[in-house]
Structures are given as C-alpha cells and as structure tokens.
C-alpha cells in the first residue's frame, strides 16, 4: 500500500461570507491517505471530503454540494510525510485560490540542508 497526498478544490458552493459583498467561490484542501492504488486514494478522499463538508458546513443543506476537482496527487513516504490539516481554505477570487494551491502543492522548506 502507498500513501498519497491529494490536493483538491471544491466549487459551486453557497457559503455566507459574514456579510461581505464578495461571495465565497470555493475551497482548497489537502488530504493524506493510504490506499492500494491512486484511483482508490482519489475516490476515498473525495468521499471523505464530501462527508466532512456535509457534517461541518452543509448540515442544513443550504450550502450545496461542491464540484470537486483533483489538483495534484503525489505519492509520499509515510514516515517523511507531514500530515496536512483537514482544513478547508476558502477563496473569494482566483488569485486567492492560486495562493492556497501554491501553499499546499509546493514542497516545504527543510530546516536542515541536504548534503550534496
């Protein structure tokens, strides 16, 4: 079994932005999952995100179901992988979406230097 880090976006939702005139366009999130194949990992993460979405933000069924788009699937070594937070990073513009994606898809800087 392999571990996969999966970054995905959700769009087409109706979330109150606390009275702000800019509507929330969607969210970006990342998950780490252990699965036998990449396809099974993607299916598992999509299911888990939708379950969490319905429990956390769509309990009253007014926010709608997001359209999920896989942005990146990366096989990772389990011991070296930092488990991502199961947070939803909401965005109100494409620029903000890209910022969130960059943060979740770019490798983190190491606190130690790799020997050459």
If you write DSSP's letter for every residue of 26-43 in order, what string do you get? Answer: EEEEEEEEEESSHHHHHH
Give CA–CA dist 16/9, Å, rounded: 18
**For 23-33, how does the pLDDT look when each residue is reduced to its tens digit (9 = 90+)?**
888 999 999 99
107 or 77: which leads in pLDDT: 77
Q: Residue 4: pLDDT above 90?
A: yes
| Six token digits for residue 60 | 């009253």
Q: Which residue has the tokens 């965005």?
A: 91
From 55, 88, 65, 89, select the one nearest 14 (Cα to Cα). Answer: 65
This prediction has a pTM of 0.83
**For 66-91, how does the pLDDT look when each residue is reduced to its tens digit (9 = 90+)?**
999 999 999 988 766 667 776 899 99
In this structure, what are the phi and psi dihedrals at residue 68, rounded to the nearest 5 degrees? -90, 135
């Amino acid at each position: 079994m392999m571990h996969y880090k999966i970054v995905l976006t959700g769009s087409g939702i109706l979330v109150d932005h606390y009275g702000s005139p800019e509507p929330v366009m969607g969210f970006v999130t990342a998950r780490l999952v252990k699965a036998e194949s990449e396809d099974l990992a993607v299916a598992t993460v999509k299911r888990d995100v939708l379950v969490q979405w319905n429990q956390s933000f769509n309990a009253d069924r007014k926010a709608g179901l997001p359209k999920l788009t896989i942005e990146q699937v990366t096989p990772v070594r389990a011991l070296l992988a930092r488990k991502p937070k199961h947070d939803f990073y909401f965005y109100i513009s494409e620029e903000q979406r890209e910022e969130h994606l960059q943060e979740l898809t770019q490798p983190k800087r190491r606190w130690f230097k790799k020997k050459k």
